[in-house]
Copies of this chain bind each other. A is one copy, B any other.
Amino acid sequence: MVNETQHTCSASSSSRSDGGSSSGSESSKDNSRCSTPVLDADRHERLREKMRRRQDAGDKWFSLEFFPPRTANAAVNLISRFDRMGAGGPLFIDVTWHPAGDPGSDKETSSMIIANTAVNYCGLETVLHMTCCNQTKDDITGHLQKAKRLGLKNIMALRGDPAGEEWEEEVDGFNYAVDLVKHIRNEFDDYFDICVAGYPKGHPEAESYEADLRHLKEKVFAGADFIITQLFFRPETFLKFMKDCQAIGITCPIIPGIFPIQGYHSLRQLVKLSKLEVPQEIKDVIEPIKDNDAAIRNYGVELAVSMCRELLDSGMVHGLHFYTLNREVATTEVLKRLGIWKEDPRRPLPWAVSAHPKRRVEDVRPIFWASRPKSYIYRTQEWDDFPNGRWGNSSSPAFGELKDYYLFYLKSKSPREELLKMWGEELTGEESVFEVFTCYITGEPNRNGYKVTCMPWNDDPLATETNLLKDQLEKVNRRGILTINSQPNINGKPSTDPIVGWGPSGGYVFQKAYLEFFTSSEIVTALLKVLKKYELRVNYHIVNVKGQNITNAPDLQPNAVTWGIFPGREIIQPTVVDPVSFLSWKDEAFALWIEQWAKLYEEESPSRMIIQYIHDNYYLVNLVDNDFPLENCLWQVVEDTFELLN
């Protein structure tokens, strides 16, 4: 990721009196004075610039198209898919606009909110589709303003399907996609990157293929930045189209739309909608196997791979756009076989970065939300600026409340029945809670034979990194140190380390050991005695639900617990233990006992009262071992505490 180009610039003397002559050095000065270390150029570029840079570097890339789900549950699943498919490294994803589904609304299934989630919570560069026919200018401006407010930066401008069977031109309305392109440029200047659709076979309603090319040119000249094409079945269809576009002066990127055939019915439906004809050689293969889904999908993958190879080999194609139909398997398979799915995506930072433009400088977060990054993003969404370089630099300290614990993108993926199986239909005491924690750590089934794959504080199985600490974690959870977050100390591993690495290559990453847990006041009393022996070496924060707070943090300063040293860069310290935000986290961490766990049981039931008791009486503790080059002493601290208790 490091810019390795050697650049020679003749800079005049930088003294002030030289005045205008020093423009060369001034502009580079501006560049370097920005408050953001360019850890990852991707975060700071517009989509069209990323495309250009990838093309210049000879990198092949891909993008993924999704449509909005019908139900809230489907939305939760789609968002997990965004996370999983996002890991493969798409240049962007796009979300289609469903006029019938109230696409600009705040419903959790609307196009707007799904795109919002993708960009803000999943950190994906996102293109929001928007259609214009049958809509007023005000409606459209309103949608665009909302999209901008939510951090969306890219619009796919479409005409949309006519209301009736036959389309009629409206006076004074938006009749063509070009009207929408012009409107966006008029009202929002250069704010959005605009994509338009291209039809390799010509739009079905166009007078002719040539006339349709002219319409496309109009859209580009009105301000579109790139083109995504309708699906097609033969590579030569696209390559001819691309040459024809270039011949009439269309020079922007044209991205082929790839449709891996995934089933007989979906193909038929798509063909009907797009008024395309399936070539005979494909029909010949498909018809005989039309009832064998797996066979059709295998064929579809094969066909897509060979078409994509031909396109990429032509040298004219740098990116591929996939119509996923919200499915994962076929597209992922094609991408893996093409070798453009990132098997080991480099993490720019140890946590998932949000793609909202306001957050592009963000590079420090408190460690507390490590397993709940979407909650962190949600609770800080109103911040005017984000910590950059130092946590202390943030001028927007107030965390928003997380009132609705069932906010749809924070909702547990597991239904109540499943949670009860994992966490216990009936609790008999604090020890049965210890057991749940222990099973989550070990991965062993609980006494009823169910594996505990999630906890209120961790919606996913243990991170690979946490696995490094598994044995010790098991031991302490069994005895009532109920761990919810931890990291081992790391003394300078390469930034490319598959488990703990992050940031550009050629660097070194470091961590201070961290342990966060709930525990009883009895254990806290012993712990505090033990901690006196470790003063200076171990920083601690201990707080109960009422906010009684015991800490030895010097002047309540944040403690950097993850940092990286990279070639040619300032130091990056992406996670800190911040005593002040710990108090905001505390509210959330304690509330999860009630909201996610206690409420599974009847009011007044013994199980519920056990969780309520823990909520009311336990302390939340975090410990940092500052001596990162030495062996982690936190296990010894806990050991000493148990010894003192015996």
Contacts and interface: CB of A to CB of B under 8 A. Distances in A.
Contact of A32 (B41, B539, B556): B556
Interface in A534-575: 535-537, 539, 543, 546-560, 563, 565-571, 573
Nearest to A547: B11
A37 B392 contact: yes
Contacts of A15: 399, 401, 584, 587
Interface in A488-539: 491-492, 505-508, 510, 535-537, 539
A401 B569 CA distance: 27
A33 B552 contact: no
Interface in A581-616: 583-584, 587
B554 A38 contact: yes
Interface string A1-19: 0111111111111111100
A392 B36 CA distance: 7
A500 to B, nearest CB: 15
A593 B399 CA distance: 56
A37 B390 CA distance: 9
Contact of A629 (B28, B492, B537): B492
A448 interface: no
A154 interface: no
A546 B6 contact: no
A32 B557 contact: yes
Nearest to A553: B568
Contact of A560 (B11, B551, B560, B565): B565
A576 interface: yes
A578 interface: yes
A271 interface: no
A186 interface: no
A8 B401 contact: no
Residues of A in contact with B, size category: 35 or more
A628 B391 CA distance: 26
A548 B563 CA distance: 35
Contact of A567 (B36, B400, B626): B626
Nearest to A36: B392
Nearest to A392: B35
Interface in A451-506: 491-492, 505-506
A482 B491 CA distance: 36
Nearest to A538: B567
Given A29-B397, A392-B35, A535-B4, A571 B568 contact: no
A320 to B, nearest CB: 29
Given A559-B568, A560-B565, A580 B389 contact: no
A636 interface: no
Interface string A385-403: 0001111111101111100
Interface in A353-409: 388-395, 397-401
A535 to B, nearest CB: 6
A25 interface: yes
